[in-house]
Amino acid sequence: MDPVKRAQFDSIDEHANVEPPSKKEIQKKGFYKLWSLVFESEGRFSRNQPVPAFGAEDSTKEHVDEFYNFWYNFDSWRSFEYLDEDVPDDNENRDQKRHMERKNNNARKKRKTEDTQRLRKLVDDCLAADERIKRFKVEANASKNAKRLEKEAEAQRLIEEAKKAKEDAEKQAKEKEETEKAEKAEGKKAKEAAKNAAKKNKRILRQAAKDAKYFVDGEASPAQIDLALNDTDNLIAKMEAEDLARIAASLNGKTDASTIKRIMVEEVKNLISAGKLTNGELKSLNI
């Protein structure tokens, strides 16, 4: 009637144990039925209640995982005090009493460890033979392969997209390069044409200074010639290409000295008004 002693006795009651089934027994009575009896027997020692049922062939993966997780973390209240050797109740023999208590305590720990190992092996053996686990692995592998194939297909799609994007980018870059090359060639051509035109226009202005007799009446001295040519170069330097082309067009074909001088003096006035020249800066064209 003592609950403590009852629990101690139940811990070692071999008649209450259900041994794991053999392969022959399983063939006759079934895997799930026989192993259910084993775990029901072992479950009476669990501190955590209720103990999950073993289940059947059609149990879900979640149920089976929960079942085995429970048993691999099994918390047993089973103890082995009932197998202790008697401790002498003799106050005069205290050393012997302490020795027996230590011996009993060590024996309990050893039996507890052995029982834990026994139970772990029992769960391992059941897990290894459980067809549900094998089925779950097959299903998991199938799902894994499906995901792998899907992932490979997605990776291939991304590769092809990247390849196409690269080809498009290369094509665009090539077209851009060709366009820029053509524009550069055109720009170079236009620049060269403008340069040649500017040279021609400058020659026209220098020839105009000569035709205008270097802006003096009568025969020009060497100093007057240098001054007129220098002033003409300064005038050219102050003008924009458009203005240079304009005045060159006005001077082109002109041979009358007074007409040439008038045209160039007008341009000097324009540059003075624009703040690009000052009065008296070009002495041969002094207005």
Q: What is the pLDDT of residues 128-174, one digit of tens each?
A: 999 999 999 999 999 999 999 999 999 999 999 999 999 999 999 99
pLDDT tens by residue, the chain, 287 residues = 888 788 777 777 776 688 999 999 999 999 999 999 999 999 999 999 999 999 999 999 999 999 999 999 999 988 888 777 776 666 657 777 788 888 888 988 999 999 999 999 999 999 999 999 999 999 999 999 999 999 999 999 999 999 999 999 999 999 999 999 998 888 888 888 888 988 999 999 999 999 989 989 889 899 999 999 998 999 899 999 998 999 999 998 888 999 999 998 998 999 999 999 888 888 888 75
**What is the residue extent of each domain of the chain?**
3-129, 195-285
pTM check: above 0.85: no
| Rounded distance between C-alpha atoms, residue 46 and residue 37, angstroms | 15
User: Which of 2.30.40.10, 3.90.245.10, 1.10.8.840, 2.50.20.10 would CATH assign to domain 195-285?
Assistant: 1.10.8.840
Segment 113-132, tens digit of pLDDT: 999 999 999 999 999 999 99
| Rounded distance between C-alpha atoms, residue 232 and residue 285, angstroms | 9
Residue with tokens 């059947």: 56
Longest dimension (CA), the chain: 158
